[in-house]
Structures are given as C-alpha cells and as structure tokens.
Chains A and B, each alone.
Chain A
C-alpha cells in the first residue's frame, strides 16, 4: 500500500492567511486614504486627535497585526526559496519571528501609550 502524500497542511493555511491579511490591509488602506483626502491632519495635534479615536486604534492595530502575519509568511517563503543551509535558515526565521513579536508589542505601546 502506498502511503498517502498529504504534506503538513500548513501550506494551505498560510496561503489563505496571506490572502485574508492582504484583504484586511487593503480595506484599512482605503479607509485611511479616504480620511486623508477628506480631512488631512497637518500637525501633531491633528494626528493625535485621529488616533485618540478608539476605533482608529483598533483598526490600526488590526492592520499592523495583519501586516506582521503577512510579512512572516512572505519572509518564510523567501527564506525557504533562497537559503538552503538549514541552520542559517532556521536562525533567520527565528530572527524574523522575534522581530515581528517585538513590533507587535511596540505597536500596542504606540497606539495605547502603555
């Protein structure tokens, strides 16, 4: 009996996540563009007012988390394609993950001034 070749299944999940996060980011970018066209903030107080809105913070955080997840899948694909030495690839992948976790905490700190 032949063993079924099914793979680890995370390929499809990542493929889908990359597309779902892309659509979330496009929606946020369109909303932000609309805001910038209607009433562009032109100083520190203006930007502060925009980001004092809780929905803007939540939307921005959703955008940034989508960006980080999207970046992980993209970077993983790039590293798998071009870096064939397992040790080097693993090290770089861990660095990418650590940097993205750091960016997530940093984003919360920026948006909610923790």
Chain B
C-alpha cells in the first residue's frame, strides 16, 4: 500500500526540530524587543532618572499583576534572545554544529531561559 504523503510542507502541521524552534523564537523575540521593547526601555529609564515622583509612578504601575506578568514575559523574550544569540555565536565559531550538540545546546537555551526567568521573576515579584 502506498503511503499518503503530504503534498507540501505546512509549517503549522509539521513538527519542527528543536534548533528550528530556538531559531524562530530568536527572530520573534528580536522583533518584540525592537517594538515595543526599545521605546518601553527608554521611557522606563527616562522615568527612573527623572524624579522621585516619576520613579514612584513607575513602581506603582509595575505593582499591577498584569503589567508584572508583562514584564516577566519581556524578561523571558530578552533572556531567550540573549542565550540563543550566544548559541549562534558559538555556531559561527563551529562549536556544536553536529546534530547531537546542536540539540543539546538548544535544550540548554530553553532550560536556561526558563530557569533564569523564574529566578529573576520570583525576585522582582
């Protein structure tokens, strides 16, 4: 009996290998860090350095659980982008380009991102 094969690659249906997931999330997180990341970072820095009143306003704003979750999500995007970026620099230098190390470092990027997000998230909560 002939196997039924997919006629085209549906990116939403095929299961991506882990390094591919690391890669696309690096791109998505990079886009989000550009916008709204950069303007939020700069207005935050401006507020913190502006006056005690502005500082208190930002503090009370971030005390809201929804914004706090937003901040922790932003933290994860940042950490994933950072760790995946370091992995890509390693790949450029030909570290971990064979299949097994590439999978292992992908797992490390995910694990490191989650663990650091949970640790820093618990610290700022």
Residues of A within 8 A of B (CB): 19, 22-23, 26, 29, 43-45, 47-48, 51, 67-68, 71, 74-75, 78, 96, 99, 103, 106-107, 110
Q: How large is the interface on B (under 10, 10 to 19, 20 to 34, 35 or more residues)?
A: 20 to 34
Q: In the complex, A44→B38 CA distance in Å?
A: 21
Contact A44 B51 (CB under 8 A): yes
Q: In the complex, A71→B33 CA distance in Å?
A: 9
Interface of A, secondary structure class, is helix
Residues of B within 8 A of A (CB): 27, 30-31, 33-35, 38-39, 42, 45-46, 48-49, 51-52, 54-56, 82, 85-86, 89, 92
Contact B27 A51 (CB under 8 A): no
| Given known contacts A71-B34, A106-B42, A22 and B85 CB-to-CB distance under 8 angstroms | yes
Q: In the complex, A98→B66 CA distance in Å?
A: 31
Q: In the complex, A86→B38 CA distance in Å?
A: 26
Contact A44 B52 (CB under 8 A): yes
Contact A47 B49 (CB under 8 A): yes
Q: In the complex, A106→B42 CA distance in Å?
A: 8
Q: Give which listed residue, B35, B49, B89, contacts A48 with CB less than 8 A.
A: B49
Contact A29 B89 (CB under 8 A): no
Find the A residue at minimum CB distance from B31.
A78
